[in-house]
Amino acid sequence: MNGMTEDKAGRVLEVIREFANVGAGNAATALAAILDIELVNEVTSCNILPLSKVARWLGGEEQIVAGVYTQLCGDLKSGILVVFPKNSTEMMLKHMTKEDVDLANLNLIQGSALREAGNICLCWYLVAVSRMIDTDLIPAPPDAAIDLLGAVLDLPLANLGAKVDTVIAVHTRFKGWDSEFDGYFLMLPEEQMLRVILEKMGDGSK
Amino acid sequence: MNDPTLVGIAQLAIAKAPEQLCCLGLGSCVAVFLYDPELKLGGVVHVLLPKAPQNHEVEEKYADTGIRKLVGQLLARGAKKERLRAKLVGGAQMFPNLNLQITDIGAENCHEVKRVLRELGIRVVSEDTQGNRGRSVVYNMADGKALVSTAFAPQHVI
């Protein structure tokens, strides 16, 4: 974060952790219902990263992931990307559809299930963010892709273009009784959105 | 042989045989490879967007300014423009069903790359572009070949 002292960055991260925990908790409850398993969740890390570091934080451009992406429709603009690693995606889709999963060729139901799982996660995180900054946030219905991580990140980066270089990233581990999976929530706010978030997080002097 | 040099988003690199250059996980980005077969000298620019705005900081981020910079650097290293040939990889549409006013940036990138190359009189000899799959590519300066890999299909050479 340019121009932010370590102290401030630490405080902002604290607030991010707070909304991340609320969002992840809600997402876990909702996912548990559609997966039909008991789930607990743990927010393992929160971060504020420049765009160029995101791929490495997520484990490298060449790994295969599922990405569910959308944008906010209101006055405040932001890209929202939920990323599930390959194994997590397979496990989740298998649970949801009770069918074998071939990530190279998802059938219609599985594609839809993936979009829905992503939608549920991103909406619940957004609700948490929305309450925290006391502003309505309306996402468009998302689309999903299963591909190389670098490729999945391209469009979100291109949409931000030259404007901002800050990504809010949260990693959550969802644990069931015999399985666990990971979800990454990435928020790519445009300038005004980022300012609002930082202000409401008690960093108004920035 | 040494590992290929990674060319990230909005980066540009020049290399000569036996070196290799690579770009990983290209989605809507385009990797533009220009090669002078006589010198076995080539360069790659990994562009994110088609056209540079008025006041841009990074030339390598945009197709129009990035390609011109790449050509300039190759000519400065002794390449001849009439010998240069181009190979293009990337420009996919990763989220085709997003129903917003998001245009197909991958297609726009490809379009702009080709327009600029045509303007400069540089021929595109092969390409693996658009569609909706991500790609990684390794460019070999020894023979000017490009090895393209995708998430689920076998590798192929263009």
What CATH number is attached to the domain comprising B21? Answer: 3.30.1330.200
Query: What are the start-end ranges of the H helices in B77-147?
Result: 105-120
Per-residue pLDDT, A204: 47
Domain count, chain B: 1
* Mean pLDDT across chain A: 85
Give the pLDDT confidence score for residue B141 in this predicted structure.
96
- Kindly state the average pLDDT of the residues A171-187: 86
Higher pLDDT, A151 or A17: A151
Choose the CATH number for A6-200 among 3.40.1550.10, 3.40.50.2300, 3.40.50.2000, 3.40.50.720. Answer: 3.40.1550.10
**Mutant choice from B46, B94, B103 vs A, greatest count of A C-beta within 10 A:** B94
ipTM of the complex: 0.88
* Residues A150 and A91: beta-carbon distance below 8 Å: no
Residue A162 and residue B94: Cβ atoms within 8 Å?
Answer: no
Local structure of residue B148 (DSSP, 8 states): E
The answer to whether B98 contacts A69, with C-beta atoms less than 8 Å apart, is yes
Q: Determine the residue of chain B that is closest to A86 in CA distance.
A: B151
- Of A12-16, A110-114, B126-130, least confident by mean pLDDT is A12-16
Q: What is the pLDDT of residues A37-56, one digit of tens each?
A: 888 888 778 888 887 788 88
Judged by CB atoms closer than 8 Å, whether chains meet at B48 and A71 is answered as: no
d(CA A59, CA A36): 29
From B90, which residue of chain A is nearest by alpha-carbon distance?
Answer: A151
* Closest alpha carbon to B78 in B42, B33, B116, B45: B42
pLDDT averaged over every residue in chain B: 93
* pLDDT for res B43: 97
Q: What range does the domain containing B87 cover?
A: 5-157
Through-space distance between the first and last CA atoms of chain B, rounded to whole angstroms = 21
How confident is the model over B110-135, as pLDDT tens digits? Answer: 999 999 999 999 999 999 999 989 99
Inform me whether the pLDDT recorded for B2 exceeds 90: no
Q: Which amino acid is at B61?
A: K
Residue B149 has pLDDT above 80, yes or no: yes
Q: Smallest Cβ distance to A61: which of B24, B28, B99?
A: B24
Q: Which residue has the higher pLDDT, B144 or A191?
A: B144
Chain B residues whose CB is inside 8 A of the A145 CB are: 94-95, 132
| Cβ <8 Å between A148 and B95 | no
B29 is catalytic: yes
Domain range summary for chain A, segments of one domain joined by +: 6-200
> Rounded to whole angstroms, how far apart are CA atoms A14 and A19?
9
Report how far Cα B33 is from the mean position of its chain's Cα atoms.
Answer: 5
Structure tokens belonging to residue A204: 């108004």
